[in-house]
Homo-oligomer: A and B are copies of this chain.
Amino acid sequence: MKISDLGEFAFIDRVSKGSLHRKDGVIAGIGDDCAVFRVSDHLAILLTADMLIEDVHFRRGEIPAELLGRKSLAASISDIAAMGGTPREAFVSIGIPENFETEYLDKIYGGLNSIAAEFEINVLGGDTVLSPDRLVMNVALTGEARETEILYRKGAMVGDIVFITGEPGLSSAGLDLLRNNRDFANKELFLAAHFDPVPQTKAGRILASTGKAHSLIDISDGLAADLGHICGQSGVGAIVEINKIPLAAELREYCRQFRLDIENFVLHGGEDYILLGTAPEKHSPDIESSLKSGGCRYFPIGRITDGASLTLIAGDGGRQELKLRGYDHFRK
């Protein structure tokens, strides 16, 4: 069977079987934004990794080298944010084509160190190897969290409010703009969202320290797909009201101007790196106030339900099943 027939998520399920060979210390293995292991009575270490391959995840002539460096670390910082942790130590492996210009590499590392400095992350090492023709990077990142505060995908409960911490769809609008070479007045906003996303560690820490949220994930595959991950791992369903999802005015304008379906960006666009979580309705006001006091945003967009389906309440009040069309790296 080809990997393209099996698909990414079935492959990950397959890989996660038979992967634990020691019982002590492991809190969570494959299947969440980070793995979690215990190092002392209260302290847990989070671990995540992101691999970026040229011509798959980025095009060298398209993304400025500094921003490639920033984005390579941003994705992993967002995974730590999605567990409620604090990012700590980065490990960067890089495969470099033989004739690569060192100036380009200096810019990548300059960008990487700039975001590392902003988040007080140390770049402690990695591996440096030759790659035949494409640049390849892997960032592994550790984080710290109190074991009792960590937020998982699997904690959603029936009746929970579903919330997000920002406006989704801007990153995928940036990609759409690039791929279709569109001219648009506010294109810098979309390009920044796509090339230089801001991981929400502050929102993640606030949510974890309140102890009131039930589950959390970052939107990397798309709102629908990532809500699907929460529902799948929690054994629940969800209803989302499209009217409650915050829509950036620029995205509305972009979709109007080029006659594009805004729901596609908002529900299925990836790499937004905003947080998506669930919490009991009674705690929703407290969570909202904690997030807003910290300069973060909070938008309740739906509710966790019985069953296993994701239902969308459209603008006209009609209901439809929300399709899970998040990005699968292998399937077309």
Residues of A within 8 A of B (CB): 1-4, 6, 8, 11-12, 14-15, 18-22, 25-26, 28-31, 34-35, 37, 39-40, 43, 45, 47-53, 55-57, 88-89, 91, 93-103, 105-106, 109, 113, 116-117, 120-132, 134, 136, 138, 140, 142, 144, 329-330
Chain B residue nearest to A142 in the complex (CB) = B47
Complex CA–CA separation, A12 to B124 (angstroms): 11
Central interface residue in A22, A26, A28, A31, by most chain B CB within 10 Å: A22
Residue in A2, A57, A124, A134 with the greatest tally of chain B CB atoms within 10 Å: A124
B47 touches A125 (CB 8 A): yes
Complex formed: what's the CA distance from A37 to B28 in Å?
Answer: 21
Smallest CB separation, A196 vs chain B (Å): 18
Which residues from chain B contact A50 at a C-beta distance below 8 Å?
93, 127
A98 near B330 with CB under 8 A, answer yes
A21-B109 Cα distance, complex, nearest whole Å: 13
Determine how many copies of this chain the complex contains.
Answer: 2
What's the least CB distance linking A45 to chain B, in Å?
Answer: 7
Residues of B within 8 A of A52 (CB): 129
Residues of B contacting A45 in the complex (Cβ-Cβ under 8 angstroms): 39, 45, 142
Q: Given that A130-B53, A329-B130 are contacting pairs, would A1 and B138 also be in contact in the complex, using a CB cutoff of 8 Å?
A: no
Can you name the residue of chain B whose Cβ is closest to the Cβ of A98?
B4
Tell me whether A21 and B98 are in contact (CB under 8 A). Answer: no
